[in-house]
Amino acid sequence: MIRIKYKEIASYIRQKIVNGDWFCGMRLPSQRQLVNQFNVNRVTIIKSVELLEMEGFIYTKRGSGTYVNDYLDDEFIPNKWTEMMEWSFQTRSQFIVQLINKLETDTSFIHISKGELGKELLPQQDLREAMNKVSGYIGDLSFGYHNGYGYQKLRELIAQRSREDGIDIKSENVMITSGALHAIQLLATGVLSQNTLIFSNTPSYIDSTNVFDHFHMKQIKLPYSEMNQFQNIINKSPSNKEKAIYIESTFNNPTAQSLSQNVREKMIRYSQTHQIPIIEDDIYKDIWFDTKPLKPIKALDINGKVVYISSFSKTVAPAIRIGWIIAPEKIIERLADIRLQIDYGSSILSQMVVYELLKNGSYDKHLNNIKSVLKEKRDYMIEKLEIYLFDYASWDVPRGGFFIWLKLNGNVNIKKLFSDLIKEEKILLNPGFIYGSEENNVRLSYAYESKDNINYAIQKIYQHIKKLSLIHI
């Protein structure tokens, strides 16, 4: 009986680790806590721990506790257990995303993975001046609870700028959020039901699509490379009454692709004909290099079928946490009501700082600067890729955004490349499968690191890819 029990407990812990609930470096509950949780004696818990240590899932530090191991590399797990484990992209993704999130705060790494501007590109002086301006009338500022809609003057400015992009709205159609991800969470909470079938583009930004998973909504993928045929995929889907499309229309993360004008027009017509709402995520639209991107799908919307989301996180600073939703008034009213039940609104100080940046023109000057610098860094990374990886990978030149989407030769083990670069070089890149790609892709970012670090990282990537390719000859 004890043999069965300790294996059951080990299986429970193992599944927690595989699912990503317990991640690398996390401390396990104490033996006493596990004894109480499973209502067994300490010997049973010890046998479970010993079994998991033998498998390579956990390790114990004397006097400190037991921790989740780094099992990215198969050598941590004996072959007999490898055979028992059916690793899916999803379970690997969960673990690796948590590892990436942890390592992205480690300043000793070269972060060729980050989807944010480097420190030198942040508008520090502009932010300082905007904050000083806000502090001048801080005595008149209400620090009580605010409504769920957001700072009215900022809503008016966003509405004005949206009209310049062809989106015919008023401030009543705008709600300020704490970033684009928060906007999606609000929509999932206040508008979409758990029975909604979500059609989402793939590859896509994982945190956005994970929101739908967390709300137990079924998702069907719309491959970005086959977007001309999106109607066929939807038409063949289950006949759910409630459906919605989630689409990153411009400079998709991670591929940097954008929807063509033809697809945008098809999608809005399909939405209107079949009564399927569209959630348009458009946070990279302002980061274009040579040609201004196409107008948003929302600009084609005459029946209120499109909910539009964007953010200042990619252009000002992630920590500002200010985004917005554009939607029909009734939806905005509902979301504002839901909002007050959750968090009472975004930081009024952050909203007013962003308002000052927009009002005084410094935001647009900053935007022009970062576009110029990012274009230069994009060209530099492309130059290094052509030197080092021409024989090992292919890529398209992005017209905007932060990323280059590499497709590596099939004999390169992406998982091992990712793991080796972390362990041996302290270089962090993002494997394509965490975004839903089933091909041999990696996402590289030129937004965060210096040219010197980009050059160094590409050289090291080349060395490891060459080594991995030779292994499989």
| CATH at 19 | 1.10.10.10
Structural domain contains residue 124: no
Q: What is the pLDDT at residue 70? A: 67
Q: What is the pLDDT at residue 328? A: 95
Q: Give kind and range of the element (H or E) at residue 200.
A: strand 197-202
Query: From residue 435, how far is each of 82, 236, 254, 301, 442 by CA, in Å?
Result: 24, 24, 7, 28, 10
Which amino acid appears at position 34 of this protein?
L
Structural domain contains residue 215: yes
Residues 250 and 297 in one domain: yes
Residues 148 and 228 in one domain: yes
pLDDT digits (tens, 9 = 90+) for 340-367: 887 777 788 899 999 999 999 999 999 9
pLDDT digits (tens, 9 = 90+) for 111-167: 999 999 999 999 999 999 999 988 887 666 655 556 789 999 999 999 999 999 999
Residues 263 and 178 in one domain: yes
Residues 193 and 270 in one domain: yes
Structural domain contains residue 127: no
Residues 218 and 313 in one domain: yes
Residues 198 and 219 in one domain: yes
Residues 454 and 385 in one domain: yes
Structural domain contains residue 184: yes
Torsion region of 87: left, alpha or beta (phi above 0 gives left; psi -120 to 50 gives alpha)? beta
Which of 324, 340, 362 is where one domain is finished? Answer: 362
User: Which residues make Cβ contacts (< 8 Å) with residue 70, sequence separation at least 6?
Assistant: 24, 25, 76, 99
Q: What is the pLDDT at residue 347? A: 82
CB 267 within 8 A of CB 300: no
Q: How many domains does the chain have?
A: 3
Which of 328, 362, 396 is where one domain is finished? Answer: 362
CATH code of the domain containing 456: 3.90.1150.10
Residues 317 and 407 in one domain: no
Residues 38 and 98 in one domain: no
Classified as helix, coil or strand, 448 is: coil
Which of 362, 385, 409 is where one domain is finished? Answer: 362
Structural domain contains residue 160: yes
Mean pLDDT for 10-17 is 84
Mean pLDDT for 396-425 is 92
Structural domain contains residue 126: no
Percent of the chain with pLDDT over 70: 90
Structural domain contains residue 376: yes
CB 179 within 8 A of CB 321: yes
d(CA 244, CA 472): 44
Which amino acid appears at position 145 of this protein?
Y
Mean pLDDT for 235-246 is 87
Classified as helix, coil or strand, 313 is: coil
pLDDT digits (tens, 9 = 90+) for 170-212: 999 999 999 999 999 999 988 888 889 999 999 998 777 788 8
Q: Is the pLDDT of residue 275 over 80?
A: yes
Structural domain contains residue 130: no
Query: From residue 362, how far is each of 119, 126, 169, 310 by CA, in Å?
Result: 18, 7, 24, 19
Nearest to 417 by CA among 368, 461, 456: 461
Residues 317 and 201 in one domain: yes
Residues 412 and 275 in one domain: no
Would you call 197 exposed, middle or buried from its count of C-beta atoms within 10 A (0-12, 13-18, 19+)?
A: buried
CB 439 within 8 A of CB 407: yes
Name the one residue in this structure whose structure tokens are 């989740």.
68
**pTM given for the model:** 0.79
d(CA 67, CA 30): 10
Tell me the residue range of the domain where 405 lies: 92-115+365-471
CATH code of the domain containing 333: 3.40.640.10
Nearest to 95 by CA among 208, 195, 19, 206: 19
Q: What is the pLDDT at residue 471? A: 61
* Beta carbons within 10 angstroms of residue 372's beta carbon: 11
Residues 224 and 323 in one domain: yes
* Kind of pairing between the strands at 58-61 and 393-394: unpaired
